């Protein structure tokens, strides 16, 4: 894997462990003890460059008093690893269907009935209402109920868009 310019930058746990020359369970322990960086938020993949930077730091190749790298700066600005991960991870426990409906509703606020919201059914809307992401805003003369995202729904849709982005 080393020296291959065509190798993907993001790698799974097994590949990351192999890249470091250790077992996958040892790699997991190193991640837990902060010897290795965490997975990229919202994924189960590790950035080779972040691994290289941590290995440089462990081996003493990185200057201890050198300039702050982009990763450290980003982590400092986001309040540490746990807070940074929380900022981007979806908060509501939703399955794929309700997630897609939530993102669609955020992108298309003019679509506010079940017939207009792509992929929505009454059960999906009921689930989103139970979670507090969607609210009913009334009925029209034709008897169709209209729905809108709550503040929580808008925030969750924004997190989902970042989290699901390729």
- The model's pTM: 0.47
Under the banding of pLDDT at 50, 70 and 90, the label for residue 6 is confident
Sorted by sequence, the CB contacts under 8 Å of residue 81 that are 6+ apart come out as: 38, 75
Under the banding of pLDDT at 50, 70 and 90, the label for residue 90 is low
Average pLDDT over residues 101-109: 92
Share of the chain above pLDDT 70, in %: 77
Q: Give how far the C-alpha of residue 52 lies from the chain's centroid of Cα atoms, to the nearest Å.
A: 23
């Amino acid at each position: 894997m080393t020296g291959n310019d065509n190798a993907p930058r993001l790698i799974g746990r097994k590949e990351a462990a192999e890249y470091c020359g250790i077992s996958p369970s040892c790699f997991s322990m190193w991640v837990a003890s902060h010897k290795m960086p965490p997975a990229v938020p919202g994924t189960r993949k590790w950035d080779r460059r972040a691994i290289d930077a941590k290995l440089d730091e462990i081996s003493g190749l990185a200057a201890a008093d050198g300039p702050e790298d982009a990763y450290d700066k980003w982590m400092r600005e986001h309040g540490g690893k746990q807070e940074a991960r929380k900022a981007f991870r979806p908060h509501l426990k939703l399955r794929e269907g309700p997630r897609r409906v939530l993102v669609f509703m955020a992108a298309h606020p003019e679509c506010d009935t079940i017939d207009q919201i792509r992929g929505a059914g009454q059960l999906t809307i009921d689930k989103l209402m139970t979670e507090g992401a969607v609210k009913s805003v009334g009925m029209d003369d034709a008897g169709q109920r209209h729905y809108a995202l709550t503040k929580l729904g808008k925030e969750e849709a924004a997190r989902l868009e970042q989290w699901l982005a390729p």
